[in-house]
Structure 1
Amino acid sequence: MKTRDVIASAVQNTFRSKLRTSLTVIAIFIGAFTLTMTSAIGAGVSSFIDSQVGAIGAPGVLAVTPAPADGPVADGPAVYDPERATGGASIDGPPGMAAGGMNEADLERIAEVEGITGVSPMVSMPVDYIAAAGSQQYELPIDLASGAFIPDLAAGAAVDDRAERQVQLPADYVEALGYTDAEAAIGQPVTLGVTDAVGEHHEVGAVIAGVTNPGLLSLGAEGNQALADAVQEAQQSGITGDVAPVYLATNATIDPASTPEQIAAIKVDLLEAGFQGQTTADQIGAFKTVIDVVTGILNAFAVIALLAAGFGIVNTLLMSVQERTREIGLMKAMGMRSGKVFGLFSMEAVFIGFLGSAIGAGVAILTGLIAAPLLAEGLFAELPGLEIVRFEPLSVAVIIAVVMAIAFLAGTLPARRAARQHPIEALRYE
């Protein structure tokens, strides 16, 4: 019997007991459906996290902050150090560290670290509110724009340091400020309220340059250098003498082609200087870990269902072997070798696994294609860009292959039992 004849015969024999085969296929279907859906959900959520959280850092950028006094990984809050807090010499860190952040000397020290090509401090503007013509006043966190951030724009463009005072707003401020949509807000003037050190109120004008899409993380608004200078001038009105700026964090640029080993070396050098640096991958790692754990747990339940289906395959084929004992004896008496008999029953198990996994994966894909748009417009309407299920052909193919492999293993015992049948004894079986 040729291989193609073995396959054709296995397919025909599978449907001899339609009810028994159908029940086994249903059990496999449940496991394959669950695996396909959980894999697609994990891929979709991971892709969304990559696109959303990826905006917190461009390639080749390290977010640098002062290292905790007790080291980069301390148990509980850091112990208060009056020397460090007042900007004096610190026992655990380098001297001159600014209270609550970093000063110009700290930025210079970061820039001296080998591998760092530039330093861009994160500057927060002390703005009380934002308002447009005829609108109410709304609170607005606003920072100086940095090349380390990649805005996901709904309209307009990122702020330009070469232009006059510009601001980039989150999408949820568009309607509140009285604009019909993001496009209508571009180029429109807004007013920022600032209170100086002596309590006097000032207003600073700006133009909307861009509007960002809502996302997983709200980065607030961003302004260009001209706007930052105007806000700082208004905020320091009434202060005599120079005020040294304090930065909570800074972005350090490195070669985007740096290897993981080179980045690790830069982090070590930063730590020795009293700072800690994180790449975008470091910052999104926690999010991905949670998604991977949840997906893994769901996949575990699917695997349990597949194992249960494996026992169903064993039972189905054992009964088939028993029912076809005389047929097996006749085939062996006519010269069919034990290997071919083993292959025949193994192929039946593999075909049952293929049926269940293919149907399960197909129904999962169909369900996902129908449910995804409904969820995007309903439950996840506030998260535009979220593709809750993302079916990857390679993942689906791997799932089908794994289920078929499990089916083959499950069919090994019945197939061996059939292959070991003695032809004369099998023919005498009643």
Structure 2
Amino acid sequence: MDVGESLRMSVRTIRGHKLRSVLTTLGIVIGIAAVITFVTLGVSLKAEIVGEFSESGANSIFLLPAPSGEGGGFGFGAQAVFTEHDLAQLRAAEGVRAVVPVGSIPVSAVGRDNESVATSDMTATSPAQFDGAEFAAGGPFTERRPGLVVNREAARQFPGNLSVGDEVTVTHRNGSQFDIAVVGILANDTSVSGFGGFGSGPSFYLPTEYYDQVVESPSTGESQRVYPQVTVVAENPGEIATVKDRVQRSLASSDAAQLVPQGYEISARTNEDIVERIGNVVDRLTQFVTGIAVISLLVGAIGIANIMLVSVRERTREIGIMKAVGATNRDVLQLFLVEATLLGLLGALVGTPLGVLGGYIVTQYADLPLTLAYQWFALAIGIGVLVGIVAGLYPAWSAARVDPIDALRYE
């Protein structure tokens, strides 16, 4: 019996038992759809993060305390260790265009015209933080023109939206207040900080003169502002590796090296380093979640094997007749194996577009741009076929071993 004849007989059998075939392939459909959905979410998240870091410039080096060792993280919420003395040392390093400190000002609310918006903190930084940033209105604050810079999401928090020139009242967590005018509204919804651009959210930026976290400098003995993060901007992106080495040598004799907590070290990483590390984390998370979804494929494989075994019992007499008229064990094995493969293929073909739809829904819910992993579509179909083959092997082998004489007696 040729493969074409086995295919025609298998299609006829599947069409003759429509409901049973649909229920049999349901596990494969769910499994493939879940895998495509989670892979699409992971790929979209990775593309968004990589895109945001890429937009922040290829000539930036991010400094902050991080746990010692290769497995250390990026130190979010790390202790402030970089003093004004350290910033001066870094600015003097060859190839450095700008040094941008980043600190957090604890606040409880921002108010305008008797309307208040709750927020936990504001970012204290220097005007160089906004180099290359696009503004919808106004511009960055300067030493001569101090003021508040907000992103569009923060501006939309207030009735009628904030505008350049509006004066707002900032309330510290200790209850003290000060008034400040809005001087710029960024053109996007995301943070311009290298460690803050993980999605939209209200962001407020103030000059460092409003930042009051201080420490005694181990080098000078003076009371100086101290920051948890610093961004060093290289003059030439092509020399970023060389500048990074110079920055690390400068930090060896810095206040930060003495103030860093035990078990931590000063981490100097470029956009490329951060993108690679975050990409690895997202990939591992995607693999873990996808692995859970693969369990549905195992359930689907068991379903196909179970139905095929039932089919062998139901068609025992048919198998006996086929063998009586000349069908070989190989023909019977091929027939049932083709039928199981078709069920797996059918599940994959239905599950793939459902997975794409599921990926679209979850990315819209997570406010991420949809990015499709097209290579997974072919892989999903291949997995469906493989599951059908593996699940159908034993039932097909069992059918091939049926004795034709006993089969003809079977009622």
Q: Same fold (TM over 0.5)?
A: yes
Aligned to 2:33: 33
Counterparts of 1:106-255 in structure 2, within 5 Å, are 107-108=88-89, 112=93, 117-122=96-101, 141=122, 142-146=124-128, 155-156=136-137, 159=140, 167-175=148-156, 180-181=160-161, 185=163, 187-188=164-165, 190=167, 207-213=183-189, 216=199, 220-222=203-205, 248-253=228-233
Aligned to 2:58: 59
User: How big is the shift at 1:61?
Assistant: 1.9
Q: In the superposition, relative to structure 1, how do residues 127 and 356 fare at CA in structure 2: closer, same or farther (>3 Å)?
A: closer
Counterparts of 1:387-406 in structure 2, within 5 Å, are 391-406=372-387
Structure 2 counterpart of 1:315, one-letter code: N
What is the aligned length?
Answer: 367
Q: In the superposition, relative to structure 1, how do residues 311 and 192 fare at CA in structure 2: closer, same or farther (>3 Å)?
A: closer
Structure 1 stretch displaced more, 305-314 or 155-164: 155-164
Which of 270, 287, 291 aligns to 1:279? It is: 270
User: How big is the shift at 1:169?
Assistant: 0.8
Aligned: 1:305 with 2:296: yes
Structure 1 stretch displaced more, 405-414 or 389-398: 389-398
Cα distance between partner residues in 1 of 2:269 and 2:11: 56
User: How big is the shift at 1:18?
Assistant: 3.7
Cα distance between partner residues in 1 of 2:243 and 2:382: 38
User: How big is the shift at 1:27?
Assistant: 2.7
Aligned to 1:345: 336
Aligned to 1:197: none
Cα distance between partner residues in 2 of 1:269 and 1:393: 45
User: How big is the shift at 1:412?
Assistant: 1.6
Counterparts of 1:8-87 in structure 2, within 5 Å, are 8-50=8-50, 54=53, 57-65=56-64
Contact 1:10 1:347 in 2 (8 A): yes
Contact 1:127 1:192 in 2 (8 A): no
Which of 79, 83, 86 aligns to 1:102? It is: 83
Structure 2 counterpart of 1:122, one-letter code: P
Query: Could you say what the CA RMSD is over the residues aligned between the two structures, in angstroms?
Result: 5.2
Deviation string for 1:255-281 (max 9, x for gaps)? 65689x989978975775644213346
Structure 1 stretch displaced more, 33-42 or 280-289: 280-289
Counterparts of 1:257-406 in structure 2, within 5 Å, are 274=257, 275-280=266-271, 295-325=286-316, 327-328=318-319, 339-366=330-357, 376=365, 385-386=367-368, 391-406=372-387
Cα distance between partner residues in 2 of 1:61 and 1:363: 41
Contact 1:148 1:251 in 2 (8 A): no
Higher strand fraction (1 or 2): 2
Contact 1:343 1:415 in 2 (8 A): yes
Q: In the superposition, relative to structure 1, how do residues 136 and 315 fare at CA in structure 2: closer, same or farther (>3 Å)?
A: closer
Structure 1 stretch displaced more, 270-279 or 16-25: 270-279
Give aligned-pair identity as a percent.
20
Deviation string for 1:64-102 (max 9, x for gaps)? 13678x88989xx9xxxxxxxxxxxxxxxxxxxxx9423
Q: Alignment partner of 1:59: what SS?
A: coil
Q: Alignment partner of 1:30: what SS?
A: helix
Deviation string for 1:211-259 (max 9, x for gaps)? 5415647583346xxx779x89xxxxxxxxx987655432234565689
Q: In the superposition, relative to structure 1, how do residues 158 and 398 fare at CA in structure 2: closer, same or farther (>3 Å)?
A: farther
Contact 1:64 1:251 in 2 (8 A): yes
Structure 1 counterpart of 2:60, one-letter code: V
Structure 2 counterpart of 1:299, one-letter code: T
Structure 1 counterpart of 2:231, one-letter code: N
Q: TM-score, with normalisation over the residues of structure 1?
A: 0.62
Cα distance between partner residues in 1 of 2:379 and 2:157: 49
Q: Alignment partner of 1:15: what SS?
A: helix
Q: Alignment partner of 1:58: what SS?
A: coil
User: How big is the shift at 1:426?
Assistant: 7.4
Q: Alignment partner of 1:213: what SS?
A: coil
Q: In the superposition, relative to structure 1, how do residues 263 and 400 fare at CA in structure 2: closer, same or farther (>3 Å)?
A: farther
Q: TM-score, with normalisation over the residues of structure 2?
A: 0.64
Q: In the superposition, relative to structure 1, how do residues 265 and 14 fare at CA in structure 2: closer, same or farther (>3 Å)?
A: farther
Deviation string for 1:288-328 (max 9, x for gaps)? 67766665554344322321221222222233334444544
User: How big is the shift at 1:122?
Assistant: 1.2
Structure 1 counterpart of 2:59, one-letter code: G
Structure 1 stretch displaced more, 286-295 or 57-66: 286-295
Contact 2:148 2:184 in 1 (8 A): yes
